[in-house]
Amino acid sequence: MTGIKITETVFRDAHQSLIATRMKTEDMLPIAQKMDKVGFYALEVWGGATFDACLRFLNEDPWERLRALRKAFKNTKLQMLLRGQNLLGYKNYPDDVVEEFIKKSIENGIDIIRIFDALNDTRNISKSIEATKKYGGHAQAAISYTTSSVHNIEYYVNLAIEMEKMGADSICIKDMSGILLPYVAEKLVRELKKNIRVPLEIHSHFTSGIANQTYMKAIEAGVDIIDTAMSPLGMGTSQPATEPMIASLEGSEFYPDIDMNLLLEITDYFKNLREKYEKEGLLNNKVLTVDVRTLKYQIPGGMLSNLVSQLQQQGALDKFEEVLEEVPRVREDLGFPPLVTPMSQMVGTQAVLNVISGERYKMIPKEVKNYVKGLYGRPAVPIKEDIRKTIIGDEEVFTGRPADLLEPQLEKYRNEIKEYIEQDEDVLTYALFPQVAIEFFKFRQSKKYRIDNQLLDNENMVYPV
Ligand code: CO
């Protein structure tokens, strides 16, 4: 049977979008057996903000989570999200760190690595694609979707062709803001399918309320895989909901090979989990309602909630609307970067600073300066002369591949944390989030904690949810 393939995101993007990435491994494992049988093409379970959140907020080792999930999912492919040369952090890492991180991700259980760059600068994803293939993984290259005068269908088709030439095993249209319109998607998918041979996936967010229709048009135009999230943690700033999306395809050639009865049992599990998160105050109404302003401001779900908390900390939540107006202006100043990590944080923080300091570019974060200096790569539109001068004065702009400036660092990292190392992966944890990692290593030394994998071995146990 053919039909559309489903990548379920409830263990990564859904909770990253709706509950600030706070889902614990112990909330995932009890439902794993059923999810493994239901017929998903893949499960997105790792990467993105989950790595940082595990260490920072949940006192969990992200590598141990991955191993536990791998053990639990015997049939379903596991997928992670990787920001190219940034890995899961917020800066560029040298090639030796990138290669080792990818090697270990695959060794610990990842099948598919979705690789993107915030600027769609392919020099920033080339090493990751190469390493993924070298260690036997599926390298999916993702297009960061945005709109501007240069971000048209031709631009995306050329980008996808280049990605395929670089060795991408599949291509994903990554619409992190939920701004890809249905009829644009139809045209985009049709043109991409004409020009590339590898499978095409679509990833959108429900933020502005249009993603269901966008998926339908993309499916009709020939997209191979769609990303959805189980309904209790779907919609809002998360993905379109899995169950209604599948139901909508009944009676068509696109209907996927999914066990609907089992799927609805899984829904019940996540319903209970959602109620628990609601009681804990993790679900904020701001991320649940359809926000049509997204269509105007192009602000992705995660960024909206970040702006709210940044303003809350400054006691300036009343400036929310003003900041939303400032975001597209800053984006234009910076050469129309897609609003995805780390560009969403840079543009968001700069917009907040521009508004609350009462003067544009009076305060400029180091990251924004480095970006303008070319250290993050090449924006699709060159930054205007006067903006560049305002931000970095007469400093030189680097035009090469940013990672070429970096010396190998793995051995240095290894030496710095000798006394804490319990597994090879710890070096990578430390490379990505040094301070948080050290705190976590200390916690791990003082109080041995282990994910209770035995939960999975006892089928008759009743799980508290
Ligand atoms: Co997403």
Does residue 342 have a cis bond before it (omega within 30 degrees)? Answer: yes
Output the CA 346–ligand 1 centroid distance in Å. Answer: 18
- Single-letter amino acid code for the residue at 280: E
What is d(CA 259, CA 244) in angstroms, rounded to the nearest whole number? 14
Give residue 229's region: left, alpha or beta (phi > 0; psi -120 to 50): beta
Residue 158's Cβ-count burial label (10 Å; 0-12, 13-18, 19+) is exposed
Residue 406's Cβ-count burial label (10 Å; 0-12, 13-18, 19+) is middle
- Tell me what the mean pLDDT of segment 394-404 comes to: 96
Output the CA 13–ligand 1 centroid distance in Å. Answer: 6
Q: Which of 189, 271, 182, 238 is nearest to 44 (CA)?
A: 238
Output the CA 205–ligand 1 centroid distance in Å. Answer: 6
**Residue-range domain boundaries for the chain:** 5-279, 291-400, 408-462
pLDDT at 301 (0 to 100)? 65
**Would you say 326 and 351 are in contact if contact means Cβ atoms under 8 Å apart?**
yes
The pLDDT confidence band at residue 452, using thresholds 50, 70 and 90, is: very low
Q: Which of 146, 154, 96 is nearest to 116 (CA)?
A: 146
Output the CA 446–ligand 1 centroid distance in Å. Answer: 36
Output the CA 380–ligand 1 centroid distance in Å. Answer: 21
Output the CA 284–ligand 1 centroid distance in Å. Answer: 18
Min mean pLDDT across 290-299, 378-387, 451-460 is at 451-460
pLDDT at 462 (0 to 100)? 36
What does the pLDDT look like over 108-117, one tens digit per residue? 999 999 999 9
Output the CA 92–ligand 1 centroid distance in Å. Answer: 21
Pick the CATH number of 5-279 from 1.10.150.80, 3.40.1710.10, 3.90.1150.10, 3.20.20.70: 3.20.20.70
With H, G, I as helix, E, B as strand and everything else as coil, classify residue 113: strand
- Tell me what the mean pLDDT of segment 429-452 comes to: 84
pLDDT at 265 (0 to 100)? 98
**Would you say 291 and 207 are in contact if contact means Cβ atoms under 8 Å apart?**
yes
106, 108, 206, 431 from 425: Cα distances, Å? 12, 10, 35, 10
Q: Is the pLDDT of residue 83 over 90?
A: yes
What does the pLDDT look like over 186-234, one tens digit per residue? 999 999 999 999 999 999 999 999 999 999 999 999 999 999 999 999 9
Q: Is the pLDDT of residue 49 over 80?
A: yes
What is the CATH superfamily name and number for domain 291-400? Conserved carboxylase domain (1.10.472.90)
pLDDT at 2 (0 to 100)? 75
Output the CA 239–ligand 1 centroid distance in Å. Answer: 7
Output the CA 408–ligand 1 centroid distance in Å. Answer: 31
DSSP bridge pairs for 112: 79, 138
The pLDDT confidence band at residue 299, using thresholds 50, 70 and 90, is: confident
Q: Which of 464, 400, 436 is nearest to 123 (CA)?
A: 400
Give percent of the chain with pLDDT exceeding 70.
95
The pLDDT confidence band at residue 185, using thresholds 50, 70 and 90, is: very high
The pLDDT confidence band at residue 441, using thresholds 50, 70 and 90, is: very high
Min mean pLDDT across 1-5, 96-100, 101-105 is at 1-5
pLDDT at 447 (0 to 100)? 59
pLDDT at 199 (0 to 100)? 98
pLDDT at 125 (0 to 100)? 98
pTM of the predicted protein model = 0.92
What does the pLDDT look like over 326-346, one tens digit per residue? 999 999 999 999 998 889 999
Indicate the DSSP class of residue 78: E
Average pLDDT, the chain: 93
Sequence-separated (6 or more) residues with CB below 8 Å from residue 439: 55
Q: Is the pLDDT of residue 359 over 90?
A: yes
Output the CA 157–ligand 1 centroid distance in Å. Answer: 21
Give percent of the chain with pLDDT exceeding 90.
84
Output the CA 293–ligand 1 centroid distance in Å. Answer: 18
DSSP output for 387-433:
HHHHHHTTPPPP-S-GGGGPPP-HHHHHHHTGGG-SSTHHHHHHHHS
Beta-carbon neighbours within 5 Å of ion ligand 1: 13, 176
Output the CA 263–ligand 1 centroid distance in Å. Answer: 22
Sequence-separated (6 or more) residues with CB below 8 Å from residue 58: 22, 24
- Tell me what the mean pLDDT of segment 301-329 comes to: 88
The more confident residue out of 88 and 1 is: 88
Output the CA 7–ligand 1 centroid distance in Å. Answer: 12
pLDDT at 95 (0 to 100)? 98
The pLDDT confidence band at residue 291, using thresholds 50, 70 and 90, is: confident
Look at the block and give the residue holding tokens 């006192």: 59
176, 251, 283, 323, 445 from 299: Cα distances, Å? 9, 35, 19, 11, 41
Output the CA 161–ligand 1 centroid distance in Å. Answer: 22
- Residue 25 φ then ψ, to 5°: -60, -40
What is d(CA 84, CA 293) in angstroms, rounded to the nearest whole number? 29
Q: Is the pLDDT of residue 455 over 50?
A: no
Output the CA 241–ligand 1 centroid distance in Å. Answer: 13
Output the CA 204–ligand 1 centroid distance in Å. Answer: 6
393-400 contacts, C-beta under 8 A, 24 or more apart? 397/372, 397/373, 398/373, 398/374, 399/374
Tokens of 388: 């560049």
The pLDDT confidence band at residue 86, using thresholds 50, 70 and 90, is: very high
Output the CA 175–ligand 1 centroid distance in Å. Answer: 7
CA angle 319, 321, 327 (to 5 degrees): 100
What does the pLDDT look like over 229-269, one tens digit per residue? 999 999 998 999 999 999 999 999 999 999 999 999 999 99
